[in-house]
Structure 1
Amino acid sequence: MPGAQHLARHLHGPDAPQVAVLLHTRLRGLPRLPRPPQISDDPHLFPRLAHPFHEASPPPHSTAWTPPDHGGLGGGVLVEHHPSKTEELWTLECGSMGAVINVEALDAHDPALFHAWYAAYHEGDAAGRHAPVVFPESVMLDQLTQESRAVRRAFGVFVGSECLGAAVLEWETEQNAHLGNIEVYVPPRHRRSGIGTALLERLSQEADGAGLTTLIAEVNAVTPEAAGLHFARRAGFSTVLTEDHQVLDLQVPEERLAQWRSVSDAPALGYAAHSWHGATPPDRLGQMAAVQNAMNADVPTGDMDVDPQNLTVEELVAQDGRLARRGYVTFVTLLTAPDGEPVGFTRIYIQTSDPDHALQDDTWVHVEHRGHRMGAWLKAENLALVQAAAPEARFLHTSNAQSNDAILSLNKRFGFRRTEVLHEVQRGGRT
């Protein structure tokens, strides 16, 4: 980054190179100032300059602070004053060189590098959200370093030992091989400086190289004005599915669970519930694979360019192994019809390093067997299992498509409250 190196020559103090890069990333798209700079305190960069005002650099160069809203950038920039010209010709030092943000592939096997990258990932994902659930550091490390049926590549923007933004590209080589799932997270203090755009551009290049024609991302929005939504739309992504993220306070009293069980006549009709936690019992593997495949073909996907996943027994065993390795305990209740056929299930995960939060994954009943409040019965049975085995759990999280009126109504009766809306956003498509 030659421009940043040039900036560093006009700064002082041990942090000068890092500060120069931070300042340099703020120069994108702003070739000159229309008037003399105004001094404005930047809480993130101001304390890091040994001499934050005009004394920071020898004549004719000056360090100045632009207003927070100037050019949409805000914060500090180094400017150059040409004494022989009018004040209207103050120009940004290195502005003509173009700001370069170096996006690096992450070596997740480097502990210090990965820890810095994950700090940016976590902060960027959780910022501004209510009751966020973010992959724990150990889980993300496993995803990036251990083999699975998905390919994952991670990238970051680093300045010294700090990571300013984190990104991940993931895709499968067998099913939905056209589809790339992406994540781009930038902590709030580093936003609006081109870092997210640079990360997304790198992911797009990697996706092109892998032959991926569709990119999909999840954006959690507390309000319609969420920064992530604006960023996605400016980058050409459109919302193709919306889901309500809902939270239920635990523990639920046993009398309420008994009430939820009692609303269903499924037991009287000969249906049975089979519950377990941990790996799928060997005698249930075929049933669980079959019922998950049936659900995958039925659940709402909006306008997502995605094909239903098909899970084999072998893949289910491998999936159970990955979850256990990553510290997840799985709680499952399987529904069978009077003839023994699997016709529904519900599943909850708890990650051992985050025991406060339980994650409701799926609840589904085959369309031909609906109408008997079986969803309520399944949820009550499985939640009783969770509360008995994990009494420390305080919150149960779930996300459901806004078009799924039946399950949203059921969750409301259970006491779930919406905390945010998850937008599945998509760009591109199969030709």
Structure 2
Amino acid sequence: MGVDIEQFNPHNQAALRAWWEVGHAATADRPGRPWPLWEQSRVALPTPNPERGLTLVAAIDGREMVGAGLVVRPLRENLHTAMAFAYVRPDRIREGIGRRLVQELEVVAAGDRRTTVQSEAYLPPGGSGTGPELFARAMGYDVASRESMKELTLADFVARRDALAASAPVPDGYRVVTFDTVCPDEHLASFGRLLGLLLAEVPLGELDLQDSEWTPERIRAAEQRQVAVGRHVLTALAIAPDGSVAGASDVRVDDNDPDHGLVGITIVDPAHRGRRLGLVLKTATHDLAVAGWPDLVSVDTSNAEVNTWMNAVNEALGYRTIETLLELQKKL
């Protein structure tokens, strides 16, 4: 087969555009917004990220790009892991291109001393045994966790808004603080403490991930990167009676994609659970999105199928499941 697998620099805009086109075509049959808009990728992919290293890979046949891949490497913690993704142009599937891309991505990961590679496969809701899952299994990837991909139409949220506020008022003694991307100084350290609990508190299944530490300096660096790429992280914090951050949630909207949002994180400190703070915070962030982005049509989120609490919160907000996400993992 006369297909070459090559790495390329994301600052090469012609190559990046061809790479983006392959991924766009490969995901076109999925519901929701499975692939970022070109302007988002054009800005974000070449911009340095203090949290993650990125390697882009292309499958080239003559003068055509027929496959695309990327390796994402955490730079702060979980240095034994990498995320790998491969896409093949729909008219070139079943030619072995996907296999060669995955093999190259694993070589890249191993070359950076990563011993665990994680990936994703998307299926119809509740599905199993489809092509992506079978391909992953053939490449040696196990299913480490199952998640539900959900979509919320903002018109549905607005219709439910008053009932949500009535069913989940802010608990006595607590207050909600909101901000766009940059956390107020007075809450920065406590917010970082809460972020450090995230991986320990969310259901990870068999995913080989370790806890993180979020210093004020790390948070500020991550915020600067979000601002640089035009991403608004619309955040709500629950402030406990003692002034500590008891919970956090956010919705993310890009300047280059003002009609679509994405939930980033939602976490409530175990010491403050049982007060419906998750629903309070998610309602607050969606209020920010509706107020600030009048053209916003929908918001996506995902959570583990076993996370019954968060599933109930999302159902109350009006989310509906559009896909099943398989979190995949392979030990090299």
What TM-score, normalized by structure 2, do the two folds share?
0.93
Deviation at 1:398, TM superposition (A): 0.6
1:398 aligns with 2:301: yes
CA–CA separation in structure 1 for the residues paired with 2:158 and 2:297: 15
Task: Give the stretch that moved more between structures: 195-204 or 155-164.
Answer: 155-164
Partner of 1:128, secondary structure, is coil
Cα deviation for residue 255 of structure 1 reads 6.3
2:24 is matched with which residue: 118, 122, 145? 122
Are the aligned partners of 1:288 and 1:342 in contact in 2 as well (CA < 8 Å)? yes
- 1:197 alignment counterpart: 99
Q: Percent identity?
A: 26
Do residues 131 (structure 1) and 35 (structure 2) align? no
Cα drift, residue 407 of structure 1 = 0.8
Structure 1 window deviating more from structure 2 (126-135 vs 178-187): it is 126-135
Kindly provide the CA deviation profile for residues 314-361 of structure 1, in whole angstroms up to 9, marking residues without a partner as x. 111111111122221111110011111111011000112222211111
Does residue 215 of structure 1 match 2:117?
Answer: yes
Is 1:147 aligned to 2:48, yes or no? yes
Is 2:4 the partner of 1:102?
Answer: yes
Given residue 418 of structure 1, which amino acid in structure 2 is its aligned partner? Answer: T
SS in 1 for 2:21: helix
The verdict on how the C-alpha distance between 1:113 and 1:161 changes in structure 2, with shifts beyond 3 A counting, is: farther
- Residue 294 in structure 1 maps to residue 197 in structure 2: yes
Per-residue deviation at 1:371?
A: 1.4
Partner residue in 2 for 1:327: 230
Say whether 1:379 aligns with 2:257. Answer: no
The corresponding residue for 2:183 is: 280
| Residue 64 (structure 2) aligns with | 162
Q: Which protein has greater RCO, CA pairs closer than 8 Å, 6+ apart?
A: 2
Counterpart contact for 1:138–1:326, Cα < 8 Å: no
Instruction: Tell me by how many angstroms 1:262 deviates.
Output: 2.0
Partner of 1:8: none
Structure number with bigger Rg? 1
Give the residue type in structure 2 aligned to 1:122: H
For the residues of structure 2 that align with 1:152 and 1:327, how far apart are their CA atoms? 19
Kindly provide the CA deviation profile for residues 116-135 of structure 1, in whole angstroms up to 9, marking residues without a partner as x.
111112222x2331113323
In structure 1, the residue matched to 2:148 is 244
Q: Is this contact kept in 1: 2:237–2:247, CA < 8 A? A: yes
**Deviation larger for 169-178 or 194-203:** 169-178
Change (3 A) 1:250 1:174: closer
Q: In the alignment, which residue of structure 2 is the partner of 1:420? A: 323
In structure 2, the residue matched to 1:184 is: 86
Write the letter of the residue equivalent to 2:137.
R
* Paired residues of 1:127 and 1:188 also in contact (CA < 8 A): no
Q: Whole-Å Cα distance in 2 between the matches of residues 417 and 361 of structure 1?
A: 17
Is this contact kept in 2: 1:265–1:372, CA < 8 A? no
Query: Per-residue deviation at 1:295?
Result: 2.4
Deviation at 1:409, TM superposition (A): 1.4
The corresponding residue for 1:175 is 77
| Alignment map for 1:23-62 (pairs within 5 Å) | none
Aligned residues: 329
Tell me if the contact between 1:345 and 1:362 (Cα under 8 Å) persists in the aligned partners. Answer: yes
Contact 2:259 2:293 in 1 (8 A): no
**1:343 alignment partner, one of 246, 255, 259:** 246
- More deviation in 136-145 or 389-398? 136-145
- Where does residue 165 of structure 2 map in the other structure? 261
Q: Please, which runs of 5 or more residues in structure 2 have no aligned partner? A: none
1:232 counterpart residue number: 136
Give the strand-richer structure, 1 or 2.
2
User: Contact conserved, 1:156 with 1:165, CA < 8 A, in 2?
Assistant: yes
